[in-house]
Structure 1
Amino acid sequence: MLEELFPNVKMEDMIEATNETLYMTTVSVAGTFILGLLLGLLLYLSGPGGLWDNKLLNWITATVVNVFRAIPFIILILLLFPFTDFLMGTIRGPGAALPALIIGGAPFYARLVEIALKEVDKGVIEAAKSMGAKYRTIIFKVLLPESMPALVSGITVTAIALISYTAVAGVIGAGGLGDFAYFYGFQRRDFDVVAVCTILIVIIVFIFQFIGDYVSRRLDKR
């Protein structure tokens, strides 16, 4: 029955494309989490009333974040071709898509990190200061633990955005389900291939959303 509904779908190729999408998503989510967390901390700590309160540092960080957030992802990929080629040795394939995915996702997540940190009770921070806690202690023992449920929710939203980015990257040869849907489905007018790729991407989104919601709820109950 499935062969009748999707006559042009080759299971082995579809599994390979799915694995490529999962690889791009998981690695880029990890990189985005690290880089976005650092940028978000800089935005929060150097902002008005922050622990560092540095206008110049805050302006520089905010400018970098805003510029890269404003660039459409497909254009960002093209702009990063020289950097990607230098770093990865190629501009094609799942690995070559990672720099653009991380650089495109981190500024978005950085703003979510900043919002999450601003929601931490100021009284808790002031109490830590009054007890003589150092900045490092406040960051790693107060700010990050208190905001962790929101940080997980934020990376979940970002991960779903990155899944859509992988599909866009596939159009220019990054591999994955986006690549498969465009080159082997749309261009050949085999729309059953496009349909299956779409279904698989939706399933991946649901999986990431479920995991993110589960982890966030568990952290919120602690």
Structure 2
Amino acid sequence: MQELFELLIIGTIDTLLMVGVSALVALLLGLPLAILLVITSPQGIYPSSKINQPIGWLINVTRSVPFLILMVALIPLTRLIVGTSYGVWAAIVPLSLAATPFFARIAEVSLREVDHGLIEAAQAMGCNRKQIIWHVLLPEALPGIVAGFTVTLVTMINSSAIAGAIGAGGLGDVAYRYGYQRFDTEIMLAVIVVLVVLVMFVQAIGDQLARQLDKRKI
């Protein structure tokens, strides 16, 4: 029992590290991409098909590749960045690249739902494009962005389990090496329980934060 507890603790810490760092990268890259997609669209405040179409194409292509295939295809890049293709830090590279376009599309939807009348009112008041982004688009879309980021985190937890099963560490590695390969049902069930608890915790926190932001906006 003590060995199982230690394995779960180590696996959980590795999973949180993988997801945490990858989520930060996805947020820092995905949100600017979403903003670019919205403002450079034909109805945006800075229409530009030369910017919008290549970014949209790149995001669509990246999202179309299944995570397992993406992880294998990125092995040379992963080795170049972190020096190895195994372990927690190696998994962060494909996790980040998979989560970034996913979150960018979700954030784009939230930004597009902002009432265009608010943007027109801001323009009539003399606001420039930067001010419209910071004081109209982002504040109005923030509850939806937070909800979308929560969905992204849940998806990343699931993907981290897949990555762990092929040598990235974390709870997926614990389930595969100590549960599946040893036919130990107890370890498999324990990992499932921990993953469910993590997902429920993240979802609850994200939903609560989104509701609070929505109330403040009203």
TM-score where L is the length of structure 1: 0.94
CA distance in 1 between partners of 2:184 and 2:92 (Å): 28
> For residue 179 of structure 2, what is the aligned residue in structure 1?
185
> For residue 91 of structure 2, what is the aligned residue in structure 1?
97
CA distance in 2 between partners of 1:192 and 1:176 (Å): 17
Superposition pairs of residues 24-63 of structure 1, within 5 angstroms: 24-63=18-57
Residue identity matched to 1:91: S
> For residue 195 of structure 1, what is the aligned residue in structure 2?
189
CA distance in 2 between partners of 1:196 and 1:10 (Å): 9
Report deviation, 1:10: 2.1
**Over residues 138-195 of structure 1, what are the superposed CA-to-partner deviations in whole Å (9 max), with x where a residue is unaligned?**
1111100110000000000010000001001011111000011011110111121111
Q: 63, 73, 76: which one pairs with 2:70? A: 76
Report deviation, 1:42: 1.3
For structure 1, the 5+ residue unaligned runs are none
**Over residues 115-160 of structure 1, what are the superposed CA-to-partner deviations in whole Å (9 max), with x where a residue is unaligned?**
1011101111011111111111111111001100000000000100
TM-score where L is the length of structure 2: 0.96
Superposition pairs of residues 1-222 of structure 1, within 5 angstroms: 3=1, 10-222=4-216
CA distance in 2 between partners of 1:207 and 1:182 (Å): 24
Calculate the aligned-residue CA RMSD, in Å: 1.1
Residue identity matched to 2:79: D
Give every structure 1 segment of 4 or more consecutive aligned residues whose post-TM-superposition deviation is greater than 2 Å.
none
Residue identity matched to 1:30: L
Residue identity matched to 1:179: D
CA distance in 2 between partners of 1:35 and 1:177 (Å): 26
CA distance in 1 between partners of 2:123 and 2:74 (Å): 43
Residue identity matched to 2:174: F
Residue identity matched to 2:46: W
CA distance in 2 between partners of 1:113 and 1:51 (Å): 17
Residue identity matched to 2:8: M
Aligned length: 216
SS in 1 for 2:168: coil
Identity of aligned residues (%): 43
SS in 1 for 2:175: helix
Report deviation, 1:199: 0.5
